[in-house]
Amino acid sequence: MFKFLWRKLRLAHLRKKNPLPRMYRELSPDLEVNLTAIRRELGASPDLIIRRITVGSAPATTGALLYIDGLIDQQIVHRDIISPLLNGEKGRKGQDSKGLLEYLVRQVLSVGAVKKEPKFEPVVQALLEGKTVLFLDGQAEALLLATEGWEKRAINEPDAERIILGPHEGFTENIRINTALLRRKITNPGLHFEEMKLGRRTRTTVAIAYLKGIVNEKLVAEVRSRLKRVNIDLVLDANYLNEFISDAPFSIFPTVGFTERPDVTAAKLLEGRVAIFVDGTPVVSTVPVLLVESFQSPDDYNFPYYYATFIRWFRYISFVLAVLAPALFVALGSYHQELIPTPLLITIKSATEGTPFPLVVEMVMMGAVFEIIREAGVRLARPVGQTISIVGALVVGEAAVTAGLVGAPTIIVIAITAIATFVVPDLLGPGIILRLFFTILAGVFGAYGILIGLLFILLHLTSLRSFGVPYLSPLVPLSPGDLKDVLIRAPIWAMRTRPRLIGWSQPERQPFGFGSSGTEEGEEGEAEDGG
Amino acid sequence: MDQGRISAGQLTLLVMSFTIGSWIVLPTGLQSGQNIWLIILFGLGGGMFFACLGLLLYRRFPGKNLFEIHELVFGPVIGKFFSLLYLWFFLQTGGGTLGVFVTMLKSTVFTATPDLALLVPWVIIVIYGCRRGIEVIARSNQPLILATVGLILISILLVLNIFEADNLLPFLDKPFSRIAWDALGVAVFPFGQGVIFMMILPRVNRQQKVAGAVFGGLIGAGLVLMIIQSLAVGVLGKVAEVLVFPTYEFYRIIDIAQVLTRLELIPLLNFLTMGFIKIMLCLYALAFGTAQLFNLRTYRPLAIPIGVLLLVVARRIFPSVSEHMRYFEEVQPYYGLFFCLVLPLITLGTALLRGRARREMAP
Amino acid sequence: MIVLMILIFLLLFLWEAPGLMAQEYWRELAVFTILLIVGLVLSLLLLTGVKLPYIESFWLNLFEKIV
Amino acid sequence: MADDRRKNRIFRGSLGLLLLSLVLSGGCWDRRELETLAVVTGMGLNYAAQGDGYEVAFQIVRAAQLQSASGGAGGGGELKPVWILRSTGPTVFEAVRNATFQSSRRLFLSHNQVLIISEAVAKGGLLPALEFFVRDHEPRNTQWLLLTPDEPVEILDAAAGLERVSALAIVDLMKQYQLTSKIKPVYLADYIKTRIEKTTANTLPIIRIYETAGKKELLLDGTAILKEDRLVGFLDHKETRGLLWVLGEVRGGVITVDLPGGGKATFEIFDAIPKVKVEFKEGRVQVKIEIKERAGLGAQTTYADLSTPEQFKKLENLQTKAIEDEIRAALAKAKAYKADIFGFGEYLYKHDHRTWQRLQKEWERYFVDAQVEIKIEAMVEELGLVTRPATYRELRK
C-alpha cells in the first residue's frame, strides 16, 4: 500500500518537473526569430526544409516556406505554392504587408485548405503533420497550407480478416483514407466524425465515428468522456486506447471490438455502435462489443443464409473444441475412464501404453510446443515460417510419438485443437488462455474441475459489460428477437430490427420481407450486417 | 446494498433452479416408489400454498424483504430474533445442499478425494458469484436452467426404449396417510424452501408480476421433477426404492447403439448446476440478511466469512446418507413447516392484528 | 495444518480488509472480522478433531426425545 | 480512485492466485492414468475351492497386444491378448481387492462386460455374490450375466472364434440374440429388477464350453431358472423362446414347421406383439395371452407351391400351432419348477394390487394352478425373392 502511494507521489512530482512543451506562445513578426525558434524546436533535422522566397517586387517582402521532406507532396508545393508565389507576384505593386497574407490566400495560392495561425505551437504541430508553413517577414501570423502527401500503403485486403466473397478492401494506416473509405460505404449526412488528438507526445489523431439518428447519444458521450480521460504518452495502435477505455481491463475477453474492414465498420455503425479511428493503424475499434460478434464473419452475410448458419455453427463448435478438447481428453483419460466406450478405451490405452508422463503434463507440454511453433511461424519470413510449421508439426510430433514420450491421441487432440483455434481469430488470445486454464483444472479435478471452470467463466461473462451492454446479450439476458443473428443467420430481409440493447433508439431497419425499397430506411438496410 | 434488478422471467427461472436444486438426484419420498409423481403433485400443491402465504405477506409490505417485514411487524428486537431464526434456516438449507453435493460426488465419481478439496473450489466460485450480486446470479442461472431442462427433455428420448410405463403401476397401493406424509415432506422440501425468495422479491423490476413468476417457477420445477423421477421409476422399477441416487443410476443403464451410452454425467451436471444456483442463493440471502441485521451498507464483504461457515456446516450436517434420509423422513416435515407455515402465519397474523396503524407507519 | 489454516484466514482477511478500510466501512469490517473469527474457530475445532454435533443428527435426537 | 480500485484488484488477484495454488497443490487424488489401469472385460464368480468365500476370476486385456494384431509376428514373444487372474476372499469385494497381490496395475472394473457365474454359486444364492457389483460405483449395471456349468475361468480363457477376447465375443453373442430369439440375455440391472419383485423368478442364459478340433469354443445353451435367487432348473432353446414370446422379447428368429405332405418349411419371424392379461376369477388365476406375429417364408424342403392364399392359411395355422407349442412347453416347465418366470404375479400386482395382496403369500400354488389361454394370430407376409421352387408347372387352363 505504502509503496504504491509513494510511487504515485513521485509520478506527480515528475509531472511538475517536466511540463508539457511550451504551448500557445505567440509568433513573432520577425521572420528570423520565428525561423530560429522553429530550428531550435526541431533540432538540426535534415528533413526540415526552409525555402526562402521573396514575394512581390515593389516592397519586396521576404518570407520562408517550411516543410518536412517526405511528409509533403512535392508536386503540390512546387506547382501550387512556390511557382505562383514566385511568378505571379512579379507585377504586383504597392501591396502593404498587412493585407499581403489575405491577398496571397485569396488570389495566389492554389492549395485547398489554408489556415492562418498566430501561435507557435500549432505551427510546429502542423509542420509535423505534413503541412507547409509560410512565414512572411513582418507578419505575426503564419499560413498553414495543406500539402500532406506521403508514401502510403495501397488499399488491400486485411490479412487477419480474409473473406471469400464480398469487398476485398481494408483500412490503411492513414486516418483520412479510412474515414473516406467509410464515407464511401455510408453516403448519409448522419455519418459524423469527431476528431481529437491523443497521446501527450505523439499527438495522434483519433476520430469517433457514429451515425446520428441511429446511435444512442449517451453512448457517444460515454465514448467521448472515456477517450478524454485517457492520459497517455503515445498512441501507436488502436489497442493502446482500448486498454484504457475498456470496461473490464482485467478480463481476458475483449470488451472493445476491432476490425480492419470498412464494410464491417459500416454495418456496426448502422446497428448503432460507435467506431474509433486511430491514425497510423488500420485497426478500427467498435463499441459496444458483444461476445457473439466474435463469431460473426463478413462472409456470413455474403453467402446464402442457410450456408452461413451452418458455417456459423461450426464456428461455435470449433471454439468450444478449441477451448475444451484437451481438457475433456485429460478428464476422460485420467479420471473418468468409465465414460469412454470400451473399444475406444482399448485403442487409446494401447496407444498410450508406456508413456512416462501423466496426461495433463503431456497435454500442456505439447500445447506449449505448438504455441512455440505457431509463434515462430508468425514472426519469421513467410517461406521460413512454413518450413518451421512443417518441421515442427510433422517431425516433432512424429518423433515424440515414436520415442514413446507422448501418446498419439495427445498429438491428435492438440492438432485438432490447434486448427480449431484459428476458426475464431477474434478470440485467439482468450481461447489459448482458457484452454490452458481448463486443461490444468481437468488435470486436478477431472470433469468436476471443468465444470468449476465453466461456472466461473459463466459468472465472469455474465457480469461483464461493454459500454453498458451486457457482454453475453442477446443470450443472457435473453432477448429472443436478436437471436436471428446469433443462433442462425436469418435472411437479410428478415433482419428487420437492430440489436435491441444497442440500436434501440431507432429499432427498425426496414419493413419485413421483400417489399419495395423506396424509403430511406430501406436503403440503409441494404448494408450488410456485421454485428 | 445490492442495486441489481432482475426481471420477472428471471425470477421464475431462479425459483425453478432453486426448487430443482439437490432434490433432483437425492429425492425424498421414493419409498412410495411408483407413486412419486403423485407425491410431487401433492407436494407442489402444498408448496403453492406456502407460496401464497408468503406472497400475501409480501403484498401487505410491498418492496420489503422478509427481514424488513419482521422489523416492521414485531419491532427491531423480536423482529431481529425472527430474522435470526431464518438465517439459521438458510444456513442449514445451504449447508445441507452442499453436504448432499459432496456426498454425491464422493460416492459416485471422486471416491478418493477429500471432502475439503471438493468443497473449497466450489465455495470459492459460489462466493465469487454471490459478490457479483443478484443480477449476475439471475443471469448466469438462465443458461444453466435451460441446459438442465433441455437435457431432461433429451433424456426422455434417450430412455424411450427402456422405459416401461407398467413400472408406474399400481396406482396408490400404499395407504393414503403414507402418501400424504411423503407429500408433506416434498411440499416442505424442496418446494417450501422457496421461502428464501422472500429476501429477493423486492429486487424484481416489475412488482405486479411477482406472484405469477413465483407460481410459474414452482409449477415448472414440479413438472421437471415429475418427469425426471417418473423416468427413473419407469426405467428402474422397484429398484429405485433401494438406490441412493436413482436418477444417477438410471442414466447409467441407457445404451443406445453403443454410441449414446455411459451418460451419467448428465444427472451429475444437472445436479451440480442446479445445486450451484441453490447454494449461491442461500449464501446471497445469508449475506444480505446478515448485513441487514447489522444495518450494514454493503453485504459483499460478508460473502467470504459466511461462505466459510457454509463450508463448516456442510461438513457437519449429517454423518451419513442414511441419517440424512431418516432426518428427511422424520424431522424435516415438522422442521420445514415451522419455517414455511408457522412463522409466516404468525407474522401475517400479527401484521393483521396490529393492522392499520402499523401499515401507515410503514413507509 | 493449524498454521496453514490460520494463514488462510489471514489471507482472507487481507483480501477484504484494505478495501473496507479505504472506504471507512468500519461496521462492515467489524461484522466481517467477527464472522471470520467464528469461521476460524469452527474450522480449527473441526481440524483438531473436536466432535461438533452433526446438525441433522442433533435435530433427530431432539425430536426423538420429545416424541 | 479508479487507479486505486485497479491496484486493489491486482492485489486481490495475487492473493486469489495464492489461495488457488494452495487448493490445486494438493490435487489429483482420484487421478489414475490409463497406463496404470488393468482393464477388466470379464469376470467369473465361483465358490472358493477351500474354505468359505468366493473365487473371482478376471479377464484383463493386454491393450497393446490387442492392437498390434498383425499376424505373422509369431514366435514365443507374443503374449496372449488377455491375462487371466484368479483370487479368493471371503466376499467378492475382498476377493477383488486381493487380486492386487498379483496384479501390478489397479484392476478397473468399469468396463467389465460379462459376469460368468458358476452353477454352484447360482445354487447357493446369487444376490450375495452380485451385491458388490450393484453397490460399488465402478462396475456398471449393464454387464451381462451368464451361468455356466463349467469353471468360469475356462470360459474367460477360451478361444472365442473370430474375436480375441472371449468377453467381448460373449457381448456380441448376446447382442445378436434376436437372430434366433432362443436365448434370453440378462443385464445385471434386469436381474436386480426382477429379483426385487416378490413373485417373479429369474432366468439366466447358459454358456458352456465344447471342444472341437482340440480347441475350446463357446456355446450358448439354453436358459437357467432361478427361483428366489437359487438355481432350480433349465429351459432348452425351444422353451426359452416360449418364454420370450410371452415377454414380448421375440424380435426375430426362425421357426420351422412340418408340412402336412412331408417336408419342412422355415419361417423368418419379423416381429411378435404379445398382450397378456392376468385375472383372478372363480378362485383361479386366469391368464390370457394373445400374440400377433408376422413372418415370412424363408425356406422350404418340398417342391410344392406354397405361394397360394390357401396355402398361406395353412402355413399360418401351422405356425400358430408351433408357437403355441413352444409357449406351452415353457409353461409346463415353469409350472413344474413352480417358478413364475413370466411375471404373471407382477402383472397382477400392477393392475390389481388388492387381489395380489391376498394371493402373494401362496402365489406358487396359484401359479401352478393358473389357467392359461393362448390365442395366436400368425401372419405370413412375405415370400422372399421367389414365388415357388424352380420347378416346371403346367399352365393353368
D196 touches chain B (CB under 8 A): yes
B173 touches chain D (CB under 8 A): yes
D4, D8, D15: residue with CB nearest C11: D15
D208 touches chain B (CB under 8 A): no
- What ipTM does the predicted assembly reach? 0.90
Choice among A20-34, A67-81, A373-387 with the minimum mean pLDDT: A20-34
Same domain as A407, residue A282: no
- For residue A421, being part of any structural domain is answered with yes
Task: Determine whether the interchain pair A446/B109 forms a contact, defined as Cβ–Cβ distance below 8 Å.
Answer: yes
DSSP per residue, D122-183: HHH-SHHHHHHHHHSSSS-S-PEEEEESS-HHHHHHS-BTTBSSHHHHHHHHHHTGGGTT-S
d(Cα D250, Cα D241) in Å, to the nearest integer?
7
Residue A268 in this model has a pLDDT that exceeds 70: yes
A340, A452, A463: residue with CB nearest B125: A452
- For residue B305, being part of any structural domain is answered with yes
Q: A215: which 3 cell numbers?
A: 446511435
How many A-D residue pairs are in contact by the CB < 8 A criterion? Answer: 75
Substitution target in A232, A338, A436, A437 with the highest count of D β-carbons within 10 Å is: A338
d(Cα A115, Cα A84) in Å, to the nearest integer?
18
Q: Which residue do the cell numbers 426496414 mark?
A: A510
Mean predicted confidence (pLDDT) in A132-137:
87
The whole-number pLDDT of residue C62 equals: 87
The whole-number pLDDT of residue D75 equals: 42
Mean predicted confidence (pLDDT) in D256-284:
87
Same domain as A271, residue A127: no
Domains held by chain B: number: 1
The whole-number pLDDT of residue A451 equals: 92
Spatial CB neighbours of A82, under 8 Å, sequence gap ≥ 6: A51, A53, A65
SS3 A201: coil
Work out the mean pLDDT of chain D and round it to a whole number.
84
Same domain as A64, residue A113: yes
Taking every pair of Cα atoms in chain A, the longest distance, rounded to a whole number of angstroms, is 104
Choice among B20-34, B168-182, C43-57 with the minimum mean pLDDT: B20-34
The whole-number pLDDT of residue A27 equals: 82
SS3 A251: coil
Mean predicted confidence (pLDDT) in B274-280:
93
Work out the mean pLDDT of chain A and round it to a whole number.
83
Set of chain D residues whose Cβ sits within 8 Å of the Cβ of C14: 15
Chain D: partners with 3+ C-beta pairs within 8 Å? A, B, C
Q: Does residue A274 contact residue A283 with C-beta atoms inside 8 Å?
A: no
The whole-number pLDDT of residue A4 equals: 59
Mean predicted confidence (pLDDT) in A233-242:
89
3-state secondary structure A26-87: ECCCCHHHHHHHHHHHHCCCCCEEEEEEEECCCCCEEEEEEEECCCECHHHHHHHHHHHHHH
SS3 D228: coil
Percentage of chain C surpassing pLDDT 90?
13
Q: Does residue B24 contact residue B231 with C-beta atoms inside 8 Å?
A: no
Set of chain B residues whose Cβ sits within 8 Å of the Cβ of A336: 109, 265
Q: D226: which 3 cell numbers?
A: 432361478
B313, B316, B327: residue with CB nearest C59: B327
d(Cα D250, Cα D246) in Å, to the nearest integer?
9
Set of chain A residues whose Cβ sits within 8 Å of the Cβ of B109: 335-336, 446-448
Q: Which of A369, A443, A437 is nearest to A406 (CA)?
A: A369
The whole-number pLDDT of residue A523 equals: 42
C51 touches chain B (CB under 8 A): no
Task: Determine whether the interchain pair A345/D39 forms a contact, defined as Cβ–Cβ distance below 8 Å.
Answer: yes
Encoded amino acid at A325, one letter: A
Q: Which residue do the cell numbers 474509433 mark?
A: A276
Task: Determine whether the interchain pair D34/A334 forms a contact, defined as Cβ–Cβ distance below 8 Å.
Answer: yes
Same domain as A450, residue A316: yes
DSSP per residue, B103-135: HHHHHHT-SSS-HHHHHHHHHHHHHHHHHT-HH
Substitution target in B124, B312, B323 with the highest count of C β-carbons within 10 Å is: B312
Task: Determine whether the interchain pair D15/C14 forms a contact, defined as Cβ–Cβ distance below 8 Å.
Answer: yes
Task: Determine whether the interchain pair B255/D142 forms a contact, defined as Cβ–Cβ distance below 8 Å.
Answer: yes
What's D248-397's CATH class? alpha beta
Encoded amino acid at A75, one letter: Q
How close does chain B come to C26, measured CA to CA in Å? 9
Residue D148 in this model has a pLDDT that exceeds 50: yes
Q: Which of A327, A358, A360, A351 is nearest to A401 (CA)?
A: A351
Q: Print the domain residue range for A316.
A: 310-466
d(Cα D15, Cα B124) in Å, to the nearest integer?
13
Residue D5 in this model has a pLDDT that exceeds 80: no
The whole-number pLDDT of residue B52 equals: 92
B313 touches chain C (CB under 8 A): yes
Give the CA angle between residues D244, D245, D250 to the nearest 5°: 70
Among chain C residues, CA nearest to D22? C8
D30, D140, D193: residue with CB nearest B237: D193
Same domain as A343, residue A283: no
Residue B352 in this model has a pLDDT that exceeds 80: yes
Residue D71 in this model has a pLDDT that exceeds 50: no
d(Cα B268, Cα A192) in Å, to the nearest integer?
54
Residue A338 in this model has a pLDDT that exceeds 70: yes
Residue A530 in this model has a pLDDT that exceeds 70: no
User: In which element (H, E) is residue D373 found?
Assistant: strand D371-382
Q: Print the domain residue range for B175.
A: 8-349
C6 touches chain D (CB under 8 A): no
Set of chain D residues whose Cβ sits within 8 Å of the Cβ of B169: 350-351
d(Cα B135, Cα B204) in Å, to the nearest integer?
10
Q: Which tens digits make up the pLDDT trace of D88-117?
A: 999 999 999 898 888 888 888 988 989 999
Q: Which of A293, A314, A362, A336 is nearest to A451 (CA)?
A: A336
CATH number at residue B308: 1.20.1740.10
Task: Determine whether the interchain pair B316/C15 forms a contact, defined as Cβ–Cβ distance below 8 Å.
Answer: no
Q: A187: which 3 cell numbers?
A: 453516403
Set of chain B residues whose Cβ sits within 8 Å of the Cβ of C54: 316-319, 323
Percentage of chain D surpassing pLDDT 70?
92
SS3 A474: coil
Give the CA angle between residues B333, B336, B342 to the nearest 5°: 110
Which residues 21-40 on chain C approach chain D with CB closer than 8 angstroms?
22
Q: Residue D27: which pLDDT band, with cuts at 50, 70 and 90?
A: low
Task: Determine whether the interchain pair B309/C32 forms a contact, defined as Cβ–Cβ distance below 8 Å.
Answer: no
Q: Does residue D151 contact residue D158 with C-beta atoms inside 8 Å?
A: no
- For residue A527, being part of any structural domain is answered with no
Spatial CB neighbours of D287, under 8 Å, sequence gap ≥ 6: D276, D277, D278, D279, D344, D370, D371, D372, D373
C15, C25, C42: residue with CB nearest B312: C42
Task: Determine whether the interchain pair C31/B294 forms a contact, defined as Cβ–Cβ distance below 8 Å.
Answer: yes
- For residue B356, being part of any structural domain is answered with no
How close does chain B come to A443, measured CA to CA in Å? 13
Among chain B residues, CA nearest to C18? B301
Q: D197: which 3 cell numbers?
A: 419383485
Residue A89 in this model has a pLDDT that exceeds 70: no
Q: Which of A477, A455, A255, A459 is nearest to B136 (CA)?
A: A459
b/e per residue, B199-235, with b = 16+ CB within 10 A? Answer: bbbbbbeeeebbbebbbbbbbbbbbbbbbbbbbbbbb
Among chain D residues, CA nearest to C9? D19
Q: Does residue A352 contact residue A411 with C-beta atoms inside 8 Å?
A: no
Set of chain A residues whose Cβ sits within 8 Å of the Cβ of B258: 341
d(Cα D233, Cα D140) in Å, to the nearest integer?
28
d(Cα A485, Cα A531) in Å, to the nearest integer?
8
C32, C53, C55: residue with CB nearest B305: C32
Q: Does residue A451 contact residue B147 with C-beta atoms inside 8 Å?
A: no
The whole-number pLDDT of residue D3 equals: 57
Same domain as A460, residue A316: yes
Set of chain B residues whose Cβ sits within 8 Å of the Cβ of C42: 309, 312
Q: Does residue D354 contact residue D279 with C-beta atoms inside 8 Å?
A: no
Q: Residue A418: which pLDDT band, with cuts at 50, 70 and 90?
A: confident
How close does chain A come to B249, measured CA to CA in Å? 14
Spatial CB neighbours of B66, under 8 Å, sequence gap ≥ 6: B83, B86, B195, B198, B199, B289
Work out the mean pLDDT of chain B and round it to a whole number.
87
Among chain D residues, CA nearest to B264? D140
d(Cα C56, Cα B318) in Å, to the nearest integer?
6
Set of chain D residues whose Cβ sits within 8 Å of the Cβ of C19: 8
Set of chain C residues whose Cβ sits within 8 Å of the Cβ of D4: 22
Task: Determine whether the interchain pair B128/A456 forms a contact, defined as Cβ–Cβ distance below 8 Å.
Answer: yes
- For residue B294, being part of any structural domain is answered with yes
Which residues 15-54 on chain D approach chain C with CB closer than 8 angstroms?
15-16, 18-19, 22
Q: Does residue B36 contact residue B30 with C-beta atoms inside 8 Å?
A: yes
- For residue A192, being part of any structural domain is answered with yes
Q: Which tens digits make up the pLDDT trace of B156-183?
A: 888 888 888 888 877 777 788 888 888 8
Q: Residue A528: which pLDDT band, with cuts at 50, 70 and 90?
A: very low
Task: Determine whether the interchain pair A349/D7 forms a contact, defined as Cβ–Cβ distance below 8 Å.
Answer: no
Give the CA angle between residues B132, B133, B138 to the nearest 5°: 105
- For residue A518, being part of any structural domain is answered with no
- For residue A505, being part of any structural domain is answered with no
Domains held by chain A: number: 3
Chain B: partners with 3+ C-beta pairs within 8 Å? A, C, D
d(Cα D106, Cα D99) in Å, to the nearest integer?
9
Give the CA angle between residues A296, A300, A304 to the nearest 5°: 155
Q: Does residue D165 contact residue D41 with C-beta atoms inside 8 Å?
A: yes
Using only C-alpha atoms, chain A has a radius of gyration, in whole angstroms, of: 30
Set of chain C residues whose Cβ sits within 8 Å of the Cβ of B96: 56
Set of chain C residues whose Cβ sits within 8 Å of the Cβ of D19: 8, 11
Set of chain D residues whose Cβ sits within 8 Å of the Cβ of B249: 141
Set of chain B residues whose Cβ sits within 8 Å of the Cβ of C25: 296-298, 301
Q: Which tens digits make up the pLDDT trace of B50-64?
A: 999 999 888 888 888
A469-470 and A284-287 beta bridge pairing:
unpaired
- For residue A365, being part of any structural domain is answered with yes
Task: Determine whether the interchain pair A459/B7 forms a contact, defined as Cβ–Cβ distance below 8 Å.
Answer: no
Task: Determine whether the interchain pair C18/D18 forms a contact, defined as Cβ–Cβ distance below 8 Å.
Answer: no
